[in-house]
Amino acid sequence: MIDFTSPGGPWVHEVEQATVNQLLAPIESADGMVTRFDGRRMRTLDALFQEYVREFMLPEYFGWNWPAFDECMTDLEWMPAKRYLTIVDHAGEVLKEDLGELPTYLRQMEDIGRHWSRAFALGPDWGGGEVPYHTVLVRAD
């Protein structure tokens, strides 16, 4: 079983649909923020960014590119949490129309998880230090 309350990596995980509900209980009971996406709404790069802008309330200055995505997702000062868990249902649909961007997305999510795991001297809203940030890609059963 993957421990999503731990800041350690790996930070991107693939799971079967049947196991998702088992994963939610520990993080929800540990002051965690769970964000759920539908991969069918993320088939292009713009659509993927749109979903993150909506769910994470990214600021107006978000630049709609990978460097801006990294900058915002490694900040999240407007949405502090002691743990972050991003679940992407229908993960096989993510960037299906922009397949060349998929490796970058996966690398970005791994890098974001790594960044948060090395955070230090954060305020109490983040638990004061290392913050778990995991992304779960849910495969169809």
- The per-residue pLDDT for 125 is 66
Question: In 3D, which of 130, 32, 51 has the Cα closest to residue 94?
Answer: 51
* pLDDT score of 71 more than 70: yes
CATH-assigned architecture of domain 12-139: 2-Layer Sandwich (3.30)
**Residues forming a β-bridge with 88:** 37, 137
For the entire predicted model, the pTM comes to: 0.89
Q: DSSP for 118-141?
A: T--S--GGGTTS---EEEEEEEP-
The whole-number average pLDDT for the span 101-109 is: 98
